[in-house]
Amino acid sequence: MTPARTERSDASSSPRHSNQVVEMKLQLAQATDMLAELYELLEKYAPTWYTQHHHEKAESTLRLVKKV
């Protein structure tokens, strides 16, 4: 037997679910900060292998995760 729609929505709003969402948001924020730091280092030191293509990919990825 499957739970009714209202029972499932109650389960998703449980404190445990809420904690998981908060934890995921914290992890995403930390990952975004780290990605921004790595991007800044690449831009500052510009290693010889760091091409315009890498720059564009890094920049677009950073913009994308900052939107989330």
Q: How many structural domains compose the chain? A: 1
Q: Which domain holds residue 60?
A: 21-67
Q: Is residue 27 part of a domain?
A: yes
Q: Is residue 33 part of a domain?
A: yes
Q: Is residue 3 part of a domain?
A: no
Query: What are the residues whose beta carbons fall under 8 Å from the beta carbon of 42, sequence distance 6 or more?
Result: 50, 54, 55, 58
Q: Is residue 60 part of a domain?
A: yes
Q: Is residue 56 part of a domain?
A: yes
What b/e string do you get for 15-32 counting C-beta neighbours within 10 Å, with b at 16 or more?
eeeeeeeeeeeeeeeeeb
Q: Is residue 59 part of a domain?
A: yes
Q: Which of 45, 36, 26 is nearest to 63 (CA)?
A: 36
Mind listing the pLDDT tens digit for each residue in 22-68? 999 999 999 999 999 999 999 999 999 999 999 999 999 999 998 88
Q: Is residue 45 part of a domain?
A: yes
pTM: 0.70
